[in-house]
């Protein structure tokens, strides 16, 4: 394991962490026998990992994928959800109400996450994909929101995000019918950046992550914030102002902006420091 400034959180139930390239974190959802579906313990692990990623100065970007060849993630653990619906159970602890529920699909965060979709991405697994910054899919992957077929709804944050990404009519078809989308159809709709053979999906995602990680850690955070403000804020100019007032103001106080400009004038590669934004 590559050295980090702070130790990673313990993830004994669901996640496996590694560092395949400089400043890149690889997160593997590892409940292969259950198609990498997530119980509450798994969701708490993911919540801790994303918070650690944002605070860890040695990392700039993460890649998330699923163990095995069948599934990226089949979503929430419906057996656990069913048990939590018992009339004697505390409603606050039901799967859909748990504080860590949907730790990636509603994540705002500071640093980008790339999805390497190695197989089926259903329910919350598809919701994860919708909120990732870049999506690389295996040619065998497919995506679905089958919640309407199970009496629940995809309320992990993907519905308004789908509207912004693929438009009302396509989002409605996807979410209201519960049908699956192939990787190629998801690519045509703009939900996926690229489709590659399954054997290459993780490596391709790591290549994209490495291209990001070569850049200024401060500039990555500031640029992503500007993109996210544009995605989630209605007024374009207000989104620009928010980023200027927050992340760009902090960027100008850091050392990486000076290093980047100095390296350019001296015609040498920059030597970045971990971001404190």
pLDDT by residue, tens only, the chain of 277 residues = 457 999 999 999 899 999 999 999 999 999 999 999 888 788 889 999 999 999 999 999 999 999 999 999 998 766 666 555 666 655 555 555 555 456 899 999 999 999 999 999 999 999 999 999 999 999 999 999 999 998 888 988 999 999 999 999 999 999 999 999 999 999 999 999 999 999 999 999 999 999 999 999 999 999 999 999 999 887 899 999 999 999 999 999 999 999 999 999 999 999 999 988 8
Q: Fold for domain 15-213? A: 2-enoyl-CoA Hydratase; Chain A, domain 1 (3.90.226)
The whole-angstrom separation of Cα 259 and Cα 270 is 6
Instruction: Spell out the SS3 assignment of the chain.
Output: CCCCCCCCCCCCCCEEEEEEECCEEEEEECCHHHCCCECHHHHHHHHHHHHHHHHCCCCCEEEEEECCCCEEECCECHHHHHHHCCCCCCHHHCHHHCCCCCCCCCCCCCCCEEEEECCEEECHHHHHHHHCCEEEEECCCEEECHHHHCCCCCCCCHHHHHHHHHCHHHHHHHHHHCCEEEHHHHHHHCCCCEEECHHHHHHHHHHHHHHHHCCCHHHHHHHHHHHHHHHHCCCHHHHHHHHHHHHHHHHHHCCHHHHHHHHHHCCCCCCCCCCCC
Sketch the domain layout of the chain as residue ranges: 15-213, 217-265
Q: With contact defined as beta carbons under 8 Å apart, do 84 and 95 qualify?
A: yes
Instruction: Spell out the SS3 assignment of 59-76.
Output: CCEEEEEECCCCEEECCE
Determine the pLDDT at residue 76: 75
Determine the pLDDT at residue 97: 54
DSSP string, 217-255: HHHHHHHHHHHHHHHH-S-HHHHHHHHIIIIIHHHHHSS
Determine the pLDDT at residue 1: 47
Determine the pLDDT at residue 85: 60
Determine the pLDDT at residue 190: 97
End-to-end CA distance of the chain: 25
Determine the pLDDT at residue 155: 87
Q: How crowded is residue 154: how many other Cβ atoms within 10 Å of its Cβ?
A: 23
């Amino acid at each position: 394991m590559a050295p980090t400034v702070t130790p990673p959180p313990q993830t004994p139930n669901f996640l496996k962490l590694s560092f395949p390239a400089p400043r890149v974190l690889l997160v593997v959802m590892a409940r292969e026998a259950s198609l990498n579906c997530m119980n509450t313990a798994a969701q708490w692990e993911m919540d801790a990992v994303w918070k650690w990623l944002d605070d860890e100065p040695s990392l700039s970007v993460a890649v998330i994928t699923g163990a095995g060849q069948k599934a990226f993630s089949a979503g929430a653990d419906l057996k656990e959800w069913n048990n939590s619906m018992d009339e004697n159970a505390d409603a606050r602890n039901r799967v859909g109400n748990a504080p860590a529920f949907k730790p990636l699909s509603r994540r705002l965060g500071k640093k980008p996450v790339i999805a390497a979709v190695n197989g089926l991405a259903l329910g919350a697994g598809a919701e994860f994909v919708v909120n990732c910054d870049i999506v690389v899919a295996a040619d065998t992957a497919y995506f679905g929101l089958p919640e309407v077929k199970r009496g629940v709804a995809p309320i992990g944050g993907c519905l308004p995000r789908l509207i912004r990404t693929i438009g009302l009519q396509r989002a409605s078809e996807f979410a209201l019918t519960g049908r699956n989308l192939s990787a190629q159809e998801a690519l045509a709709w703009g939900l996926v950046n690229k489709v590659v053979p399954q054997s290459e999906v993780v490596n391709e995602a790591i290549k994209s992550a490495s291209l990001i990680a070569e850049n200024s850690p401060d500039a990555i955070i500031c640029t992503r914030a500007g993109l996210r403000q544009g995605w989630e804020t209605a007024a374009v100019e207000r989104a620009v102002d928010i980023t200027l007032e927050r992340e760009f103001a902090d960027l100008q106080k850091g050392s990486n902006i000076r290093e980047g400009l100095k390296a350019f004038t001296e015609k040498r590669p920059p030597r970045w420091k971990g971001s404190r934004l």
